[in-house]
Amino acid sequence: MTPYELLAIVAVIGAARALLSLRPVVAGSSGRSTAIAREFLDPFIIAGLAAWVLITFVARTYYIPSGSMLPTLQIHDVLLVDKFEYRFHRPNEGDVVVFPPPVPTPDDFIKRVIGRPGDRLRISDGTVYINGEPLHEPYVAEKPDYSLEIRDYGIYINYGTGWERVDPDSGNVPPKSSWSGPDRIPPHCYIMLGDNRNDSEDSHIWGFAQDGGRFATGARSGAPAGFTGRAFLIFWPPSQAKTL
């Protein structure tokens, strides 16, 4: 349930509560039915408003619809997402993050933070290198079957048939003027990858995620960017429950 849907439900209950307050008391009833209705409705309104504040500003649940984060996240897992943490610091390498991607979709994506602003990043022979150092990734399903390089103010992918640049017309790749260097991830930009590397629609397809502002290029150019929050707990099903 989205915050807007919850707020709509609370509004309907609040309207019913207001109508009961305006309803004339029937002779002989002493207003007992109205008082009873208020007794039941008021806690729902208070609880609904409290829940709205929590899922809007603090935390919310997130359902896993696909296998792009296997084996870390299973299809149908339900997570708790901290929406408050990134108000104080930027995402850390390795965080599992919910965010709106730079491609048209009705839902947020969930991926892992691999590269952050200022990092040099490449993927070679199935290994991710950050600033020249190999990244230890015990969480991946299998090594990627592609190579990737951040260079020449772009993201380049090689599936074994030659290097191709992520097209700014379809992916989010900021213009040269926004970069701090030709081989470094631009400010406010992140490389986000699924743990199921070879079955994940992620940065190797659509470019950079952003921690704010608006997407520079791609299908959602000009749309608001940012991070919804960090996934920190799987709480359903109980057999899969764990912290992330």
Torsion of CA 114, 120, 125, 127, to 10 degrees: -40
Q: Which residues contact 155 (CB under 8 A, 6 or more apart)?
A: 148, 149, 165, 166, 171, 173, 203, 204, 207, 208
The domain that holds 148 is classified in CATH as: 2.10.109.10
Strand pairing class (147-151; 229-236): unpaired
156 and 72: one domain? yes
User: Which of 59, 83, 106 is the endpoint of a domain?
Assistant: 59
55 and 71: one domain? no
Give per-residue pLDDT as tens, 157-192.
999 999 999 999 999 999 999 999 999 999 999 999
What pTM was computed for the model?
Answer: 0.78
When pLDDT is averaged across residues 74-83 and rounded to a whole number, the result is 91
Average of per-residue pLDDT values in the chain: 85
141: left (phi over 0), alpha (psi -120 to 50) or beta: alpha
When pLDDT is averaged across residues 57-85 and rounded to a whole number, the result is 87
7 and 34: one domain? yes
Exactly one of 83, 111, 200, 203 is catalytic; name it: 111
36 and 68: one domain? no
134 and 166: one domain? yes
Q: 138, 145, 109, 153: which is closest to 124 by C-alpha?
A: 145
Q: Is the pLDDT of residue 209 over 50?
A: yes
73 and 175: one domain? yes
How many domains does the chain fold into? 2
The yes-or-no answer on residue 111 being catalytic is yes
118 and 202: one domain? yes
8 and 52: one domain? yes
Query: Could you give the count of Cα atoms lying within 13 Å of 152 in the half-sphere of its Cβ?
Result: 9
Exactly one of 21, 29, 33, 68 is catalytic; name it: 68
46 and 150: one domain? no
Contact of 188 with 121, CB cutoff 8 Å:
no
Q: Could you give the C-alpha distances from 16 to 3, 49, 95, 157, in angstroms and in order?
A: 20, 15, 43, 57
Q: Is the pLDDT of residue 134 over 70?
A: yes
Give per-residue pLDDT as tens, 38-62.
565 556 555 554 444 455 545 678 8
Give the structural domain span for 41.
3-59
104 and 175: one domain? yes
The yes-or-no answer on residue 124 being catalytic is no
When pLDDT is averaged across residues 209-236 and rounded to a whole number, the result is 94
- What six digits make up the tokens of 116? 């952050």
147 and 202: one domain? yes
72 and 43: one domain? no
